Structure 1
């Protein structure tokens, strides 16, 4: 039984505690619990079998208890055990202690179940939430009616503690976030792209320098107020190239920017997940693929805590099941 296994571990380890710590269970109390299990099993051999120890170890543990306290708890014969008066008095107290341990185990189990119920607050980039999370969310909520979801849309790194956020979905580097833990969910490429019709009319760029002859569609980052640079890696020397787009059309909403790319008004640079269906169906095609930057990680960030509620873990596992590859 679990109590006996726990006792075996505790009896073999001496834990040092300071004066401000909760007192540990003494060896004498541990041996008292062994005594109760011997009585309940009806023999040393059966008690030892249930605990997964030898009969000798069980017998010696009880003998040490009796010797230390100067009492005899059991009359031992070849075929039977019987309680002494002292053993009879201690048995009820020992059973009370075991009952208390069992109640604690039940309470812990209930707490574990309850932690899988309740609200989980998630913050995620607006376009990612709408494009990748929301299409899959109804099926998840049907499968987990005990979980309540609150999704806050935004690209800034929120103060998770102040806003009561359980998980933040963020891309790129997460260095410099003390007190937080991140779990990589998947990675994705950024792609330069346009419609086949646009490229047929204006030509296909072969290097980033060729982009100067094309209509460019830019994205203004709400956090910085600046139009995002496009990034490439030279297939010749591996050097990173930051390209400053000369954008004819600029949007501060990623989905809106994609809709203009999709409508054939120019070349844009975007995360592949934003238009995955269009890219896979050929409605939009990638250009400068040989110059594509390394894939960027997308992670779930949470506050560093000793215990993560089961409901938060369930939601995090759900997010990790979203498409993990972005092959186009």
Structure 2
């Protein structure tokens, strides 16, 4: 058995989450991939993949072996690039990226043409979601995520810091008055932003004398989408906390009014996530550099921004 080839086949099946799709990309019959995995599992003496009619899933041994295979294959690729010359280091192939819905649409997508023009041999597959994505199972190379990262086998690198604003429309404030303190917010209508994954509402938070103060939101309107959150505030349905990059234009045009600016919401980290060992790949390396520089140019998203 060609162990290196078996590793490549195994990793490709995991990335594609399908024997059929992996066979198509490798230009091999599906039966050949099935036989390779069967022989590999017999050689290792363990089950790597659990197969059902609907999906594939890594076993615990399979997940460990996959992580090691990725590192080994990346090391082999890096070694070969040393001898193949500059052409081998050019980004090519398909880069699969998962982006938060609002951040992806408003902060990344408007600039994507520049990245695509810089690397014409690179194909881009973008998904936009706020759910927890299994990069390994779904064959995604990297993801941008907002908030504190959960423990995982992925590598997480903070590349930005998202700032927020508490705000409301002039029409809402004319009807209900302008709150001057955090406690005064309790008597107001707040637009609740809840998690589409868990259904739980997000608390509002404020930094007071260097300490974090949380507030549960009361209101008649609840949404699970950042753009809908801002749209509701523009219609005068209540006070909201929203990402500053989303509402800055509305604030400058007077369509929204910033509140309690002396106690701003706490910023949230923006991180780039990717499987261990992947950063050696030229396609991921150039994207990581580009998106890091992109956020650094945005005053409301740059890392360690001081207002």
TM-score, normalised to structure 2, is 0.66
User: Which 5+ residue runs of structure 1 have no aligned equivalent?
Assistant: 1-102
Q: How far off is 1:201 after superposition?
A: 3.5
Instruction: Note the alpha carbon deviations across 1:92-114, whole angstroms, 9 max, x for none.
Output: xxxxxxxxxxx98552544323x
- Checking the alignment, whether the CA contact within 8 Å between 2:167 and 2:257 is kept in structure 1 is yes
Instruction: Note the alpha carbon deviations across 1:208-265, whole angstroms, 9 max, x for none.
Output: 2111222211112111111211111224xx4322211112111112111211112222
Residue from 102, 112, 120 that aligns with 1:127: 102
Q: How far off is 1:306 after superposition?
A: 6.4
Residue from 109, 121, 130 that aligns with 1:155: 130
Query: C-alpha separation between the residues in 1 aligned to 2:259 and 2:117?
Result: 40
The equivalences for 1:85-124 within 5 A come to 106-113=83-90, 116-124=91-99
What is the aligned-residue RMSD (CA, Å)?
2.3
Q: Go from structure 1 to structure 2 and tell me whether the alpha carbon gap of 1:306 and 1:149 turns closer, same or farther (over 3 Å shift).
A: closer
Query: C-alpha separation between the residues in 1 aligned to 2:279 and 2:190?
Result: 48
- Checking the alignment, whether the CA contact within 8 Å between 2:188 and 2:218 is kept in structure 1 is no
Secondary structure of the equivalent of 1:170? strand
Residue 201 of structure 2: aligned partner? 227
User: Which one has a bigger Cα radius of gyration?
Assistant: 1
By relative contact order (CA 8 Å, sep 6+), the higher-ranking structure is: 2
Secondary structure of the equivalent of 2:205? strand
User: Which 5+ residue runs of structure 2 have no aligned equivalent?
Assistant: 1-79
Q: Go from structure 1 to structure 2 and tell me whether the alpha carbon gap of 1:105 and 1:241 turns closer, same or farther (over 3 Å shift).
A: closer
Residue from 183, 186, 196 that aligns with 2:170: 196
- Checking the alignment, whether the CA contact within 8 Å between 2:279 and 2:285 is kept in structure 1 is no
Q: Go from structure 1 to structure 2 and tell me whether the alpha carbon gap of 1:279 and 1:308 turns closer, same or farther (over 3 Å shift).
A: farther
Instruction: Note the alpha carbon deviations across 1:150-169, whole angstroms, 9 max, x for none.
Output: 11111223211111111110
1:213 aligns to 2:190 (yes or no): no
The equivalences for 1:74-89 within 5 A come to none
The equivalences for 1:168-317 within 5 A come to 168-177=143-152, 179-235=153-209, 238-305=210-277, 307-317=279-289
- Checking the alignment, whether the CA contact within 8 Å between 2:159 and 2:295 is kept in structure 1 is no
Query: C-alpha separation between the residues in 2 aligned to 1:206 and 1:124?
Result: 36
Instruction: Note the alpha carbon deviations across 1:108-131, whole angstroms, 9 max, x for none.
Output: 544323xx1121111111111111
Q: Go from structure 1 to structure 2 and tell me whether the alpha carbon gap of 1:176 and 1:105 turns closer, same or farther (over 3 Å shift).
A: closer
Residue 9 of structure 1: aligned partner? none
Residue 142 of structure 1: aligned partner? 117
